[in-house]
Structure 1
Amino acid sequence: MPHDLTVAVVGATGAVGREMLKILEEREFPATKVRALASSRSAGSSLPFQNGELIVEELTEASFADIDLALFSAGGETSKKFAPIAAKAGCTVVDNSSAWRMDPEIPLVVPEVNPEALKTHKGIIANPNCSTIQMVVALKPLHDAARIKRVVVSTYQAVSGSGNKAIEELRKQVTQLFNMQEPEAKVYPHRIAFNCLPHLDAFLDNEYTKEEMKMVDETKKIMGDDSIRVTATTVRVPVFYGHSESINIETDLKLTSREARALLSQAPGVKVLDNPAENIYPMPINAAGEDETFVGRIREDESIDNGLNVWVVADNIRKGAALNTVQIAEVLIRENLLLS
């Protein structure tokens, strides 16, 4: 670790950027100085940090001269433009957008799953999609024990995954409906309050959405196994925080539900909540504000020889975005892998 470590959060005023600052503070991240960078319209505003506040600075091409490590959460176009500029200046970038995830030269990392991939970085590291992160945290111990052949996943994703405007839209629509008013839909193509939308991101030529194909492609890259077959259906649900996933897994070797439960109970970053007789299973209200990936409803799939069903829930803003980014940064520092 550098003697003096300057860390910047790029996109600091957004939902994930604010959470990054909060997590840096909570985990006592070993930074000498933390800076908040954002667009010109946010420059000059302030954000709470530790016992004071950070004044937001405008992001420019000259911003990275004195920065050792930058945590990006400012959207794909910003990342495409500024991440290479930062890396060229000697600043290591951990990027939360989708811009670099499938670039073969750039590691896509979940610290509980493939931290060794960080050794190959050349200045930019990609943070995976929120729904992929929590899934692979749960898949990894099962894959190591029995080799996963196929995954069928259906997601139930919170509106916070679309940012602050979506959170506000759900709040507003609920209020409008209770007041017998026609709800306005601006963020999503249809009303989200008391509804489910099987539509996350744009539809592609293969009739899947971008979100669904992210889960397919990213899972193979993170797990380091192109032979794993993955299919996904992603759904937006009227929940503020916490993505839920129903995952059906087919393995080469037989795993009983008891064996799977034992493996998951020992897995890093996983918390098993699995006692249906007592109505104990993961829910978004358990996960909101928490760091762990919660797993429950662990049971054998009776329709195939080597199959399991699991239910996985995590806070999409924390583990699905900000926390995973900070955890990557912690590994970079611990293993002395920063550029500068």
Structure 2
Amino acid sequence: MSEAKQYNVAVVGATGAVGQKMLETLEDRNFPINQLKLLSSSRSAGSKVTFQGNDYTVEEATPESFEGIDIALFSAGGSVSKKLAPEAVKRGAVVVDNTSAYRMAEDVPLVVPEVNEKDIADHKGIIANPNCSTIQMVAALEPVRKAVGMKRVIVSTYQAVSGAGNEAAEELRNQSQAFLDDTDLKADILPVKGDKKHYPIAFNALPQIDVFQDNGYTFEEMKMINETKKIMHAPELSVAATCVRLPFFTSHAESVYVEVEKDGVTVEEIKQLLADAPGIVLEDDPATQTYPTPLSAAGKRDVFVGRIRKDLDDDRGFHLWVVSDNLLKGAAWNSVQIAECLIANEWL
């Protein structure tokens, strides 16, 4: 990445869980920032955030906020992105959007840099960051798909509460204490804040992430299905997902079954493909009980893969266990990576 030039950067949703991680990642990567502007809803405007030792006041996001901005990282909810991303583009910014607002739009690239970095070149001002659970899965599967083909993917997810925001994490804390104190568990946020019913997440498992669709799948499950096909440019790929929220704070875990196209592929070949892949860390040794967990992946930018087994009934079937920090690779780091690709390839 060129160190000579510096860029005016805006972070929209700067006070949220992902926005905070975006700032940490920009700082950690020593991103070439000339001016930094922190934006949020009117509710959070006025709060102070420290970045590289300097205090910044968070401003309310308006169309005029994007005057002179080169790169805008959005993570403030789909309605904000729909309203303000086009305004940012109009004023000359390139938007990396971390919401679902533009992911399936035909003229918007949906990007995981390890999988389809070149799609960034076709942007028309907005680049979409995929769903957190999709990102880690396609990053792990793409090296396999490229080498031996892929016909089918079936995934069950075990997702952290931070994927539903800071309020959901706080609800887990409060409910856990209430459970230990043998008092009533108050549920207002999960599975979906805006849905009709709420269930406790503490010491529980909720087989609903986002709202149900007419076909019986949740919106989260449909995101994984549709986004995987788009990112991989594989409309013919069979994908099914079941998404479950579990009571831990950080990192999503996934049990993934894949059917490859080539005969005679071995577990060792799959392991080698993953060990050689960018952004992937292989942690797989049953003899020493080595495999990734949400706790061991938290705070790290990579995607961790273990428990690789051949299916006992289908020679082309393989099972994998995929874990990654949903706020980093699943959101903030993938967004900053896209911004780095924009600069490195002069695609701004």
Q: TM-score, normalised by structure 1?
A: 0.98
- Single out whichever of 278-287 and 1-10 deviates more from structure 2: 1-10
Aligned to 1:263: 273
Is 2:17 the partner of 1:26? no
Distance 1:303 1:152 in 2: 16
Distance 1:3 1:261 in 2: 40
SS of equivalent to 1:48 = strand
Distance 1:322 1:273 in 2: 23
**1:216-295 correspondence runs (5 A):** 216-254=225-263, 255-295=265-305
Is 2:327 the partner of 1:317? yes
Q: Retained in 1: the 8 A contact 2:5–2:32?
A: no
Identity %: 55
Once the two structures are superposed, what CA deviation does each residue of 1:15-58 show, in whole Å capped at 9, x if it has no partner? 00010000000010011121110111222211121112211111
Is 2:339 the partner of 1:337? no
SS of equivalent to 2:64 = coil
SS of equivalent to 2:115 = coil
Aligned to 2:158: 156
Aligned to 1:73: 75
Distance 1:305 1:135 in 2: 21
Once the two structures are superposed, what CA deviation does each residue of 1:252-311 show, in whole Å capped at 9, x if it has no partner? 103211000000000000001001111110100111000000000011012212111000
Q: Retained in 1: the 8 A contact 2:11–2:74?
A: yes
Once the two structures are superposed, what CA deviation does each residue of 1:121-178 show, in whole Å capped at 9, x if it has no partner? 0000000000000000000000001111000000000000000000000000011111
SS of equivalent to 2:183 = coil
SS of equivalent to 1:118 = helix
Shift of 1:66: 1.3
Instruction: Name the amino acid aligned to 1:158.
Output: A
SS of equivalent to 1:313 = strand
Aligned to 1:55: 57
Q: TM-score, normalised by structure 2?
A: 0.96
**1:187-198 correspondence runs (5 A):** 187-188=189-190, 189-198=198-207
Match of 1:131 among 124, 133, 151: 133
Shift of 1:4: 4.0
- Single out whichever of 26-35 and 202-211 deviates more from structure 2: 26-35
Shift of 1:3: 3.7
Alpha-carbon RMSD: 0.9
Shift of 1:314: 0.2
Distance 1:29 1:198 in 2: 38
Aligned to 2:193: none
Match of 1:87 among 86, 89, 98: 89
Distance 1:313 1:53 in 2: 34
Distance 1:137 1:3 in 2: 30
Instruction: Name the amino acid aligned to 2:268.
Output: R
- Give the gaps of 5 or more residues in structure 1: none
- Single out whichever of 34-43 and 285-294 deviates more from structure 2: 34-43
Aligned length: 338
Shift of 1:5: 1.0
Once superposed, which parts of structure 1, at least 4 consecutive aligned residues long, lie more than 4 Å away?
A: none
SS of equivalent to 1:244 = strand
Distance 1:177 1:25 in 2: 38
Is 2:115 the partner of 1:105? no
Match of 1:210 among 193, 209, 219: 219
SS of equivalent to 1:62 = helix
Shift of 1:197: 0.4
- Give the gaps of 5 or more residues in structure 2: 191-197
Distance 1:34 1:319 in 2: 22
Distance 1:276 1:246 in 2: 16
Distance 1:243 1:53 in 2: 32
